Amino acid sequence: MNTKTTKPYRHGAVAVLLACALAAGVSDLTTAADEDPAGPSTATKTTKTFKGPASGAVSGPMSGPLKATTTATHRQAPPQSLPRLKLPAPTGPHAVGRTSLHLVDHGRRDPWVPEAGARELMVSLYYPARKGTGTPAPYMTTEGARLFLENRGIEDVPAKVLAGTRTHTRTGAAPAPGTYPLVVLSPGFQVPGTTLTGLAEDLTSRGYVVAVTDHAYEAVGVAFPGKGILPCTACDKVDENTFEPAALGRGHDLSYVLDALIGERDGKRGGKPGGTRPLWQHAGMIDKARVGMAGHSMGGAGTAAAMAKDTRIRAGANLDGPFPGLGAGADLSGRPFLMMGAPDLHGPGGGDTTWGPAWDRLTGWKRWATLTGADHFAFTDLAPLAGQLGEDDPEGLPGRRASEITRAYTGAFFDQHLRGRPSPLLNGPSADHPEVVFQRDPRDGR
pLDDT digit string, tens, across residues 196-218:
999 999 999 999 999 999 999 99
Distance of alpha carbon 286 from alpha carbon 192, whole angstroms: 24
pLDDT digit string, tens, across residues 286-325:
999 999 999 999 999 999 999 999 999 999 999 999 999 9
pLDDT for res 23? 34
Distance of alpha carbon 23 from alpha carbon 37, whole angstroms: 15
228-229 and 223-224: which strand pairing?
Answer: antiparallel
pLDDT digit string, tens, across residues 371-415:
999 999 999 998 999 899 898 999 999 999 999 999 999 999 999
pLDDT for res 71? 29
pLDDT digit string, tens, across residues 117-150:
999 999 999 999 999 999 999 999 999 998 887 8
Residue 348 gets which letter from DSSP? T
Cβ neighbours for 437, distance < 8 A, ≥ 6 positions apart: 343, 347, 369, 370, 371, 372, 429
pLDDT for res 337? 98
**Does residue 35 register a pLDDT over 70?**
no
414 CB burial (10 A radius; 0-12, 13-18, 19+): buried
User: CA-CA distances (angstroms) from residue 403 to 399, 407, 420?
Assistant: 6, 6, 24
Question: Average model confidence (pLDDT) for the chain?
Answer: 82
pLDDT for res 434? 97
pLDDT for res 270? 38
pTM over 0.95: no
Residue 385 carries which side chain, given as an amino acid letter?
L
Q: What is the mean pLDDT of residues 7-17?
A: 36
pLDDT for res 120? 97
With cut-offs at 50, 70 and 90, classify the pLDDT of residue 277. confident
70 vs 237, more confident? 237
First to last CA, the chain: 45
Q: What is the CA radius of gyration of the chain?
A: 20
With cut-offs at 50, 70 and 90, classify the pLDDT of residue 241. confident
Distance of alpha carbon 400 from alpha carbon 137, whole angstroms: 22
232: left (phi over 0), alpha (psi -120 to 50) or beta: beta
CA 414 from chain centre, in angstroms, equals 15
Distance of alpha carbon 421 from alpha carbon 401, whole angstroms: 24
Neighbours of 243 (CB within 10 A): 25
**Does residue 103 register a pLDDT over 80?**
yes
C-alpha atoms less than 13 angstroms from C-alpha of 316 in its C-beta half-sphere: 32
pLDDT for res 349? 85
pLDDT for res 40? 61
Distance of alpha carbon 341 from alpha carbon 406, whole angstroms: 10
Domain 14-444 falls in which CATH fold? Rossmann fold (3.40.50)
pLDDT for res 280? 94
Domain ranges for the chain: 14-444
Sign of CA dihedral 42, 48, 54, 56: negative
pLDDT for res 265? 62
Share of the chain above pLDDT 70, in %: 78
**Residue 370, phi then psi, degrees to nearest 5:** -125, 155
Cα Dmax for the chain: 61
Considering only 35-44, 67-76, 417-426, which range has the smallest mean pLDDT?
A: 67-76
pLDDT for res 217? 97
Distance of alpha carbon 206 from alpha carbon 167, whole angstroms: 16
Share of the chain above pLDDT 90, in %: 66
pLDDT digit string, tens, across residues 40-73:
654 333 444 444 433 332 222 222 222 222 323 3
**Does residue 338 register a pLDDT over 90?**
yes
330 vs 154, more confident? 330
**Residue 246, phi then psi, degrees to nearest 5:** -65, -45
Cβ neighbours for 432, distance < 8 A, ≥ 6 positions apart: none
With cut-offs at 50, 70 and 90, classify the pLDDT of residue 80. low
**Residue 34, phi then psi, degrees to nearest 5:** -75, -15
Sequential DSSP letters for 375-440: -TTTTSTHHHHHHHTT---TTS--HHHHHHHHHHHHHHHHHHHHS----GGGGS--TT-TTEEESS
Considering only 12-16, 103-107, 378-382, which range has the smallest mean pLDDT?
A: 12-16
**Does residue 344 register a pLDDT over 80?**
yes
Distance of alpha carbon 401 from alpha carbon 407, whole angstroms: 10
pLDDT digit string, tens, across residues 168-191:
999 999 999 999 999 999 999 888
**Does residue 261 register a pLDDT over 70?**
yes
With cut-offs at 50, 70 and 90, classify the pLDDT of residue 442. low
With cut-offs at 50, 70 and 90, classify the pLDDT of residue 20. very low
Q: Where are the beta strands (DSSP E) in 36-117?
A: 47-52, 95-109
Distance of alpha carbon 365 from alpha carbon 219, whole angstroms: 33
